[in-house]
Each structure stands twice: as C-alpha cells, then as structure tokens.
Structure 1
Amino acid sequence: MTVADHVAVAVTRPDSTSTSVDHWRMGRDTELMRFRYGGVAAATRRRLAADPSTRLITVAALTPGDWSLTRDHRPVHISPDRPTLVVIDQFSPFDFRGHGDGSAIAVHTRHARLTLSIETIDSALDHVHPELPLYPLALAHVQQLGVIAASAPEILPELNSTTIALVRSLLLSAAGAAGLAASTKSIVTSIERHIEEHLDDLTLKADTIAAAHNISARQLYNLWPESNGSLAGYITAQRLDRARKTLRTHPHLTVAAVARRHGFSDPTHFTRRFRSAFGITPSDWRRRAAFAASRN
C-alpha cells in the first residue's frame, strides 16, 4: 500500500548502496515507511480518477539535503538546511527527485480514513508550510514515529488514531489558510482597483480606502502585501507614473497643474518626489521627452 502501482520509482545512481525501504503497518489502511536513498526519482505524470477508498495520501518528513519536489507541475519551496514536512496525493501529478543521500519517514493512508473531501485536500496541499501552527507538531510527530519504529514497532498501532487525527487537523488548517489566502487576494485586488480608479483624488488615503471596503485602517495595513511596498509609497508611485505620462502628452499644462491633476496638492512636493523617483525634475523630463519626440 505504501506506493501506488502507477507511481514510477527509479534509482538514479545505480552505483549507490544506500537505498533501502522499511515499512510497518500502523492500522487499517495506514502504514509507516522509512526510505533511505542515494539518488532516487518518484513521480506520476497525470491526475488519476480514483475512488476515495483507494486514493493514497502521503505525509513525509524529509531530512535536509539536495532534493526537489514538484506538485501539479509547480515547485514546492523547501529549506534544504532543515527537515521538511510535505504532503503528496499519489493520484495527482508529482515529481520527487533525491539527488544525493537522504532519507524520509512517511505515513501513507487512504483518503477515506481522513474523512475530508477531495476539494479540501487539494486546497490544503499547496498550503502546508512552516508558518502553520500545527506544522512543527506534525513534523516532530512523523519523525518520532520513525524513532519508535526502530526501537518499539509494536507500539505503532496504538498511535494510529492519533496520527490520523493530527494529519487531518493539519490538512484542515492548511485548507483554511488557502481559503484565507484566496479571500485576501480578492480583497487586495479590489483595493488595487479602487486606488487606480481614485488615483487622482486628493482625498485618497488609507481611511477612505478602508471605508470603501468596510474594513478598518489597521486591517487594511495588515492585508496590504509587503511585495507592494508601503501603501502610501504604492499610491505615490502610481501617481508619479501617471503624471510622467501626462507631462509628455499634455504640454500645455503647467507642472503645477499636472501635479494637482494627479493627487499632489503641493507642486514643490511633487517635484521633489518626481526627482527622487526618476532622477530628473518634471520640467527637464518634459523637455527631454519633447526633444526625443521631435527627432522621431
């Protein structure tokens, strides 16, 4: 039961003598496996339809090392210098490559034992990460199962129910994180659209943006992604970019008029921010753009 029949497994270093597999039955439809390898590949290329009673879910604790994993053809981000917990649906596309010596302790169980929908598990797979509160506990639990298997394997069946309950809770937590991530992404997209539509409004600020989305300013700042930079910086950058285009396309407008049109009440402040962003004053930018246009 440990590996589904359709999963292709191959030793990638034929000269290696460190590959070995041990497995122990924990309970109905649940097994524990220790896998030591010196170069291995395991993969399934396509999603297979299967009754939940036959679908296999694997939760594995991998030692630090040179290995890679893709799931549904997307790379799984890992920390090669520390143990990592991964969850794999053996009936969905995945590709594991152990490029050097390494090992894994894995719990294999049937999907039906988890009493979770396929949709919940699919949602959870990409969101099992170290920031989840249950991640360290689940990682340590799987690692400890390997220790127990080596010293007192007869105890493993007594830990089956606890193991299944912990895996189920981990996946529910990850699915909840996935739902939260999707909801957050939707709100951020709405906020970005609101900023674009009201970019030239002098009253555009955190309070008005938050009010438009029925959230507090604090919630707005918590939702705003770090990758966008600060909220104020994002708004300023968008305004400056729009103003730079207007300086070129509306030569009859003064710099002060362009500044006011794009949400800057103080032309001096606008000029200072423009120069900081583009390394040139608005007036010099306009002259340079006009000269370039005249040569075309």
Structure 2
Amino acid sequence: MPNESARDAAAGSGIATTRFSTHSLAASEQLLAWRSRVGHVVDVPPSKRQLAQGFAGHIDLYAVGGMIFTDCSTDALMLERSVARVSTDSRRDFVFHVFLDGEIGNVTGMHRKRSAAEPVKGIVAFDLNQPFRNERPACRLLSLFVPRDIVEAGLPDAGSIHGRIVQQGSPLGHLILDHAAAISREMPKLDRHGATDALTAGAQLLIAAFRKESRVTGAGRASLQAAVMGQVRRYVEANLHQGNLTPASVVDELQLKRATIYRWFEHEGGLGTYIRNRRLREAAEELVRFPHLQVMEIAYGLGFKSASDFTRAFRRAFDISPQDMRARAVELLNGGT
C-alpha cells in the first residue's frame, strides 16, 4: 500500500519509487513494521504467532500519472479497513489486487459476503470509500490504485464492484494477469510517459473486466488492443530464436483471433513483417555483441534459412551488408573513423 509522500512525489517529474522489506528486521519487529508501513490505508491486526515467529513482506511501489502500482509479497495476514478508518481519512480511490501467486482468501465486510466458498485465484476490487476485511494466505499480488473519477467514468455504479472477484479464467482475467506481470517486469525501465500509458491501459482493462456488459467499448477497447499487442510483442521477443516462430504459431499459442491480430499489425506491414524486422534488429545487435560468432550462425539462430535470404533482407532493412555492419562497429569500438 502506498504512503502519502510517494503519492505527492508523483506530481513532480519522473516516477516516484519506494521499496520496503521486513527481511533485515528482528522477527519481533517485522509484523509491526509492516503494519506501520501500510497503516495509513488499512490496519493489519497482529497475531501472537506473527509477533513471535516473524513476518515476511516485501513491496515495490511506483507512483506516476495519478496512479500507484505495487508489487507485493507477504506471508498470510489480515487486512482491515474499518468504518472508523473510512470516516476519518481521505482515501476515496479504488484498488485492484491481481494475484500472481496464492488465493484471494476470505473477503468480508460489505453488505454481503463476496468471497467464493472455495479458494479463488484472480482479481479483487476494493472501493476505499467502503469498509472491508480480507484474510488471505501467503501470496504475491500486484495492485493498481486508480482515482475514483477514472473508475466512475467507466462504471456508473462503481461502488457496486466493491469486494467483487473476477476469476483468473475469465475472458479478460488472463490478459490482465499477463499485462500486470509485464508492467512489474518493465516498470523499472520505463520513463514517465511509458509508465503512465501502461498503467492507464491496465486501469481500463480492469474496469472492462468488472463491467457487467460483455462488450468492451471506448477506452476499454483501446486498452484491450494495446494489451493484446503488448502480449504478442512479448511472445515474439521471447521466441525470436525459435525457428518455428510464425504469425500462425503466435496466434495459435496465445489463442487469439487471427483476423483481428493481423489487422492490428497492418501498420507494421503485417505480423510476419513485424517478426522478420525484429529478427533483423536482433541480428544487427548480435553481430556487434558476439563478434566471435559467424554471421550465418546468427542468421540461422534467428530462423533465416539461407545466407542469401538473410543478406538480402538485412541489406534491405539497413542499407548495408551484415559483414560491413560488423566491420564498421568493430572500427568504431576501436576508435576508428
């Protein structure tokens, strides 16, 4: 959970970042330190066992563009936002918890119990303008705090999603999980603009997932397209060296609609062209990074079937042959002109 200083810092330049862990603390201090860390938003009632045996918790926080994203791992714990807390603090945003590992646990405190009878993996939404209690097992979760006006713009009856759960296997659940995990991996490398775009897309995907209508429209549609294209790009990037990487293999593996994906990549010249261009860019980087490798070793490793095909495609993309690019790079590295 974020603190107010990080929230205020987000209004300045760049991305406000904080990290906190109980690892270096004495066992008797760990739960109390965690309670103090998140206590401005929720209470963490301590148990005798936690006070005696210790509590493991780690959180990375990023604040940018009016939103806050956290990557948090903890032992089992109880979170409670009481009526008294709601009535005395000013937190009125929404928080969406996306569970990467572990179950959501028991969610109570609303007008009716929202948690499922069996353990559930997925996403839970909380309106910080309402009380709740969440007793959860050890887990790793990614949280996105979204300003109230953004949620209400997409959900006229926004308060009704409080405590609601979207299961991992739902139509948008898997895509949100993938998008949130990608944000967690990439956030340390993103600039303010890139981070804001990623979190905005995530917020719109979450709003779409909790909207009762099955049809995704408006900002949700644009965010859905951005998230799916990001998913495709990440899959391509991870499989550039697989010889069987093709447009068909991508849509089949990710279980996407072929016509839609092909249409969305038209501005790249098509998905096949996008894959080839990424392989050529990777080849150019490897020619410099691995001077001990033969040019054709690099080409074959990136799925090119012949020397002539690779050289022709490389020259068309960079207006230089692979061998000349490597020679020029070596000359520059050695201080030549």
**Structure 1 length-normalised TM:** 0.48
Greater relative contact order (CA < 8 Å, ≥ 6 in sequence):
1
